[in-house]
Chain A
Amino acid sequence: SQTIHQWPATLVQPVGSPLSLECTVEGTSNPNLYWYRQAAGRGLQLLFYSVGIGQISSEVPQNLSASRPQDRQFILSSKKLLLSDSGFYLCAIATGLKSPLHFGNGTRLTVT
């Protein structure tokens, strides 16, 4: 079965500091990978998705970036965090574009 590892579970960072969140996947190959952000425990905003190594699609202009250096590794980064970057960041996988998503347990990021 598919397993998603996200770390860290919680993170407190000062404004202007860099960010690196990692997501790794087990139990599947060549998945579609997604980064979502959820504010205040409500609706999910798609940030990035990837259909293959090195292929990144950005959904929302912002100071975040994503990379997929390996088939089952997806990284979310920022050079300088803003207060508005606070939120619950979720990594998700799907076997195809129309397939349901399987989510990791998320990282709670607080920018102070």
Chain B
Amino acid sequence: TQLLEQSPQFLSIQEGENLTVYCNSSSVFSSLQWYRQEPGEGPVLLVTVVTGGEVKKLKRLTFQFGDARKDSSLHITAAQPGDTGLYLCAGVGGSNYKLTFGKGTLLTVNP
């Protein structure tokens, strides 16, 4: 069974601070997706990373896929209250391309 561990589970910061959240596994994934979920809504895809070592930027968000494709990180620069939400990573792996979700990092950005 492939597992994805996300850390930290909870993060509360002030507006303007930088932060990094992590998504780690002992398994190799063919690709990894990051989602953000706001209360009462479904998760929304932020990015997909496919190549080991890949870095993708989405405005103030920087996503990195580990060289061995076992881990990923999300870095947010100058966090804003609108960044508040549950950040989920999900890996695609296995012969049936099953998607495995981590339990998420709940981020609160205080004004």
Chain A residues close to B by CB (< 8 Å): 4, 41-44, 46, 90, 92, 97-98, 100-106, 108
- A103 with B106, Cβ < 8 A, contacts A41-B86, A97-B97, A98-B30 known: no
For the complex of A and B, the 10 pairs showing the least CB-CB separation, nearest first, are A103-B42, A43-B103, A97-B97, A44-B101, A100-B45, A98-B97, A42-B103, A90-B42, A100-B33, A103-B43
Give B28-55 interface residues, CB cut-off 8 Å to A: 30-31, 33, 35, 39-45, 48
Chain B residues close to A by CB (< 8 Å): 30-31, 33, 35, 39-45, 48, 86, 88, 90, 92, 96-99, 101-104, 106
CB-nearest residue of chain A relative to B105?
A42
When chains A and B are docked, how far (Å) is the Cα of A105 from the Cα of B41?
5
| Contact indicator A106/B99 (Cβ below 8 Å) | no
| Contact indicator B45/A43 (Cβ below 8 Å) | no
Residues of A within 8 A of B44 (CB): 103
Q: How far is the CB of A112 from chain B (nearest CB, A)?
A: 20
Instruction: Classify the secondary structure of B's interface with A.
Output: strand
| Contact indicator B31/A106 (Cβ below 8 Å) | no
Residues of A within 8 A of B45 (CB): 100-102
When chains A and B are docked, how far (Å) is the Cα of A2 from the Cα of B43?
15
When chains A and B are docked, how far (Å) is the Cα of A104 from the Cα of B42?
6
Contact among A42, A98, A106 with B42 in the assembled complex (CB-CB below 8 Å): A106
- A41 with B42, Cβ < 8 A, contacts A97-B97, A98-B31, A98-B92 known: no
Contact among A4, A43, A97 with B104 in the assembled complex (CB-CB below 8 Å): A43
Q: How far is the CB of A62 from chain B (nearest CB, A)?
A: 18
Q: How far is the CB of A42 from chain B (nearest CB, A)?
A: 5
CB-nearest residue of chain A relative to B33?
A100
CB-nearest residue of chain B relative to A94?
B99
Interface centre among A4, A46, A101 (most CB of B within 10 A): A101
- A100 with B96, Cβ < 8 A, contacts A43-B101, A44-B88, A105-B42 known: no
Residues of B within 8 A of A97 (CB): 96-97
When chains A and B are docked, how far (Å) is the Cα of A98 from the Cα of B49?
12
